[in-house]
Chain A
Amino acid sequence: MQLALSPEDQAFREEMRTFFTTVVPEEIRTKVLEGRELSKEEIAGSMKLLDDHDLAVPHWPEEWGGRGWSDLRRHLYLEEMQAAGCPVPLAFNASMIGPVLAQFASQEMKERFLPKTRSCEIWWSQGFSEPDAGSDLASLRTSAVRDGDDWVVNGQKTWTTLGQYGDWIFTLVRTDPEVKKQAGISMLLIDMTSPGLTVRPIELIDGGHEVNEVWFEDVRVPGENLVGEPGQGWTMAKFLLGNERVGVAPVGATKHALARAKQLVGDRLREPLLAARVAELENELLALELTALRVVAHSADGEPHPASSVLKLKGTELQQAVTELLVDLAGPAGLASGTAEGALPDWVHRTVPTYLNYRKASIYGGSNEVQRQIIARTILGL
């Protein structure tokens, strides 16, 4: 057992810190650190900047831009990125479709899509959930029927995050209604400018437009846009949702949010109840970060560490707990959500919308109930 990083890993950590705090524009980092919304251009531009320095997709295979880092280094990279307020690479590109294409797609498809996916020249959207297929994703109904060289897609996807910016959407479709439900699913890449494809906003409880419905009405998709083989879609979905050990819990961002809350509240931090609440949160975050380190330090065999579900579960709970703390710190001023001006401190305006928005965290990416199911079944054997 050894607490300290090796000198090499320590140097790596410092190199990352220097990069994120000096190369990434301060204006964007401040926005992230203050919890303000970024424009499409700012998110895509940041990913492009990272890609220019080979730092957008270090976990990809090396021939497609990966760096061959250890899980520990990837963890340090992500933590330093979040601590500096650098926007994290667009998850749909970097963590979802990119690794799937690198693993399952034809060489031609890889060459066509991976470079632009890495640099965010293509903004990907995710077409998985449907109104009747949430946690039970395999019961999805959006269909793709072969017609000549094309697939004709009909159906509806929902909860498509930032679909309003999307250029392409990777979509799970049912290509064979006759077989067992998991076996009839395929992955199609669909150009979002295709005729018959409509994106409709869903207004959320925070008043924002973050997610969308995507409707498909006789959308024609070239046959070559099917990833791998028909019927492999479920395998790809599981690969995409389940192969992650690094960055499962947003440790760095939550730590920063809590440290910022302490700063904002100033002398009130001397109030015993508030100090105890903050201290307890800090301890739980420490436990989470150390668990994340245990996971990344011990998963060299490529298998997901069983504690990954703990990271998702506890990581989102703590993320939410800090947004809740900020609401309480804002007090009555938090009501002023509809303005950014006026006599109130700048930060109070976003506290309640952020709190409401982050209720999503324990629902997406495999709800926390699904995580409990995974722990009970696969770890405890229940």
Chain B
Amino acid sequence: MDFTYDDEQDALRDAVRGLLGKAYSDFEQRRQTCKADPGFSEQVWSQMAEMGLLGLPFSEEDGGVGAGPVEIAIVCQEIGRVIAPEPYLQAVVLAGGLVQACGTPEQRQDVLGALAGGERLLAFAHDEPGSRWAPTASAVTAGQNGDSWSLTGTKEPVVQGARADQLVVSAALPDGGTGLFLVDADATERTDYPTYDGGRAAQVTFDATPATPLGEPGRDLAGSIATVQDIARVMAANIAVGAMETALRTTSGYLTSRKQFGVTLNTFQALTFRAADMYVSLELATSVVSWATMVLQTGDVARVRDAAARAGLQASRAGRHIGQEAIQLHGGIGMTAEYSVGSYTAVLTALDHLLGDGDHHLVDLAGSVADHGAIDPLAVG
């Protein structure tokens, strides 16, 4: 039982903090980056590739680094601290994670190598109108003609779908189940738009678009999608922890500097007590998210699923609390796009709804509440 990083992990954190902290040391830099297409910095993305961050989760034979969940979580927390707009979670953890989990050796080497090198941006095209975080697809269908496959239907919203070079697409299979396909992004019809968290998303339409099955053709991959979603839930929660830390630190700093009635705001207990409650939310969420990250190390699918729901629930509750209070304790300035805290709240809101919000996770957990007595977080199979 150890919640601390080892020396190498400390060094990784410092390096990532050096890169992203420098790139977005001033909130205005992030704001300008988000304003211009593609909504993130290609330069920072290349630097992340050079540092090996884009290949962190993948095995060395696939062109990656072979690092574990703790290392990926470190990157995610640092992304959250400055709400870096680079699509790490989408491209590396989700799309890359699916290729790693389901791809053939040739596909893994080709796709993950290019992703890790920063030469090819991946996006996971999964959400469909009406869908709510299920690991299955229905609006996009796959058709088979001999050995060739094609997709038809619409995916939306696809984060960074317009900028992506290659899409990992989920689709309903002819014989039932959900398959995954690699699609050349240029072969699709894409409509791009900005999202409230500073990023970009797209509607992606397939019309008998040629597609390559990921892994063995025709196989139902819903289980793998669910597991990669669970891993991404824990990583999204790690980003949220980083963002919440900054939101709270920014708020505390503001309370000690902003003056009204001739005194700084921290003179008012009504405000400092609310900041204290934000700290409570942050500490509790940090504990569950760190624990869930360690559960990922076990690789046990059922435990990962449970831990992802628990981290997702806690991060959702804390993210809303801290995000809302950060704006309120700032007052009017917190409402402006020029000042940082509002954007932190926007990012926390996006993370909350990316892979299942608190209530979604709570429904899952409530469904299994009768299956156990008390929870033992130290029980390791």
Contacts and interface: CB of A to CB of B under 8 A. Distances in A.
Interface of A: 1-6, 9, 13, 72, 83, 255-256, 258-259, 262-263, 269-270, 272, 275-276, 278-280, 282-291, 293-294, 297-298, 307, 310, 313-314, 369, 371-373, 375-377, 379-382
Most chain B beta carbons < 10 A, residue from A13, A293, A373, A382: A382
B256 A382 contact: yes
Contacts of B269: 373
Nearest to B264: A382
Contacts of B291: 3, 286, 290
Interface of B: 1-5, 9, 70, 248, 252, 255-256, 266, 269, 272-273, 275-277, 279-280, 283-285, 287-288, 290-291, 293-295, 297-298, 310, 313-314, 362-363, 365-367, 369-370, 373-375, 377-378, 380
17 contacts: A1-B9, A3-B1, A3-B294, A3-B297, A83-B374, A255-B375, A259-B373, A259-B374, A269-B370, A276-B366, A284-B314, A290-B377, A291-B283, A297-B2, A297-B4, A298-B3, A382-B272
Contacts, number: 150
User: Nearest 3 A-B pairs (CB), nearest first?
Assistant: A290-B287, A3-B294, A275-B366
Nearest to B381: A4
B369 A290 contact: no
A1 B288 contact: no
Given A5-B1, A294-B3, A280 B362 contact: yes
A287 B367 contact: no
Nearest to A270: B370
Nearest to A273: B366
Given A1-B294, A2-B1, A310 B374 contact: no
Nearest to A9: B1
Contacts of B363: 276
Interface of B is mostly: helix
A380 B279 contact: yes
B369 A286 contact: no
Contacts of B256: 381-382
Contacts of B275: 376, 380, 382
Contacts of A280: 313, 362, 365
Nearest to B282: A310
B365 A279 contact: yes
A297 B279 CA distance: 20
A379 to B, nearest CB: 6
Contacts of A263: 373
Contact of A272 (B280, B284, B366, B377): B366
Contacts of A9: 1
A279 B255 CA distance: 35
Nearest to B265: A382
A166 B119 CA distance: 76
B220 to A, nearest CB: 29
Most chain A beta carbons < 10 A, residue from B1, B269, B285, B375: B1
Nearest to A287: B284
B284 A289 contact: no
A298 B290 CA distance: 14
Given A1-B4, A4-B1, A290-B288, A310 B279 contact: yes
A376 B272 contact: yes
Contacts of A6: 1
Given A255-B375, A262-B370, A290-B291, A310 B283 contact: yes
Contacts of A13: 378
Contacts of A4: 1, 378, 380
Contacts of A255: 374-375
Contacts of B276: 371-373, 375-376, 380
Contacts of B5: 1
B340 to A, nearest CB: 18
A182 to B, nearest CB: 22
Contacts of A72: 1
Contact of A287 (B248, B288, B374, B380): B288
Contacts of A381: 252, 256
Given A284-B284, A287-B288, A279 B362 contact: yes
Contact of A372 (B277, B313, B367): B277
